[in-house]
Amino acid sequence: MLDMFSLKGKSALITGASRGLGYAIAEALASAGAQTIVHGRDRTALDRAQAAFAQRGWACSTMVAEMTDESVVRRMARELLAQHGRVDILVNNAGGNIRKGLLEASSADWREVLEMDLTACFALAQEFAPRMIEASWGRIINMGSVMSVLSRAGIPAYTAAKHGVAGLTRALAAELGRKGVTVNAICPGFFRTETNEVHLRNPKFTSWVEERTPLGRWGEPKEVGSAAIFLASNGGSYVNGHLLMVDGGLTASM
């Protein structure tokens, strides 16, 4: 049974993986046997990640690229295909949030968040899907959020982008399923990561999360990693077009 969750012989690109949830996902996939390609914007952080993986005997390479320019994203994908031949598992984790409401956000703010959180997912899927289709096997895992199904004041661009990720996931699942490629999304709740430091320093917000989450706590990054193994492996081969809420029950109780 455990063999169903093995990723030996598979290559996996995880974007935005030098820290936080992306790092945890890369770590999990590597532990399951995947040859990982860890992407990020910070060369120093990527070098640390690669060294940590090497110490555990895990095959890992790195790639630096910005995700706010579609042409750069597509160039990165083509470089990776030239270097590695194929990417079996694509984890679209890279993204960002500009915490400005409707009256504060600029058009540039709106476009930046949409480019990072949604357009890059589409572009990478479009670049890697042909090789997956040729192999009749592929996994695309998009990173959504509880904001893929909920909303909060003050983050319209992020909420719109993550709702878009949900729609894109289902659309690609419908299109690629018969070709051997599954497309799913992981939708995290509130996790203890660097990205959420602004919230973690706010006792009122921290208490709100703990009170509204049925498990009564914030998530730990490794709890997203195990979900990624499931969706990436043959253990999740009949899961397609699914938004997997990894949120401690937050969206079940709101």
Of 23, 53, 58, 158, the active-site residue reads 158
- DSSP for 42-104 reads -HHHHHHHHHHHHHTT--EEEEE--SS-HHHHHHHHHHHHHHHS--SEEEE---------TTT
Which positions ≥6 away from 36 have C-beta within 8 Å? Answer: 11, 12, 13, 14, 17, 26, 29, 30, 53, 58, 59, 60, 61
Q: How far apart are CA 60 and CA 89, in angstroms?
A: 14
Domain range annotation of the chain: 2-246
23 is catalytic: no
Please tell me whether residue 111 adopts helix, strand or coil conformation: helix
Mean pLDDT of the chain: 96
pLDDT value of residue 14: 98
Dig out the tokens for 136 from the structure: 């009749």
What would the pLDDT profile of 67-118 be if each residue is shown by its tens digit?
999 999 999 999 999 999 999 999 999 999 999 999 999 999 999 999 999 9
For 2-246, CATH number?
3.40.50.720
pLDDT value of residue 193: 84
Q: How far apart are CA 196 and CA 224, in angstroms?
A: 15
State if pTM tops 0.85: yes
Least confident piece of the model among 76-85, 131-140, 149-158, 202-211: 202-211
pLDDT band at 254 (very low <50, low <70, confident <90, very high): low
Is the pLDDT reported for residue 180 higher than 90? Answer: yes
Query: Which run of H or E residues covers position 171?
Result: helix 156-176
What would the pLDDT profile of 187-227 be if each residue is shown by its tens digit?
999 998 877 777 788 899 999 999 999 999 999 999 999 99
